Amino acid sequence: MSTARIKALKSKLALPVVAAPMFLVSGTELLLACCRAGVVGSLPAGNARSVEQLSSWLEHIEREATLARQTGDHRFAPWALNLVVQDVHSARFQATLELIQRFAPPIVITSFGAPGDVVERVQRYGGLVFHDVATLRHAHKAMDAGVDGLIVLTAGAGGHTGIANPFALVPAIRKIWDGGVLLAGTISDGRGIHAAEVLGADFAYMGTRFAATRESLAGEDYKSLLVSQRMSDVVVTDRLSGVVATFLKGAITRVGLDPDDLPPLRAPRTPNLPNGLKAWRDIWSAGQGVDLIDDVPPVSELVSRLRREYAETAMTVVGAPSTPAAR
Across the range 89-117, mean pLDDT stands at 95
The pTM is what? 0.95
The angle formed by the CA atoms of residues 55, 46 and 88, to the nearest 5 degrees, is: 95
Q: Is the pLDDT of residue 321 over 70?
A: no
Q: Rounded to the nearest 10 degrees, how much is the dihedral formed by the CA atoms of 189, 194, 197, 201?
A: 0
CA 104 vs. chain centroid, Å, equals 19
Length of the chain: 327
**What does the alpha-carbon distance between residue 287 and residue 267 come to, in Å, rounded to a whole number?**
26
Across the range 284-309, mean pLDDT stands at 97
Lowest mean pLDDT among 72-76, 210-214, 279-283, 299-303: 72-76
- HSE (side-chain half, CA atoms, 13 Å) at 225: 23
Domains annotated on the chain, with CATH: 3-217 (3.20.20.70), 230-276 (no CATH)
Give the pLDDT band of residue 143 (cuts 50, 70, 90). Answer: very high
The overall average pLDDT reported for the chain is: 95
Encode pLDDT of 3-54 as tens digits. Answer: 899 999 999 999 999 999 999 999 999 999 999 999 999 999 999 999 999 9
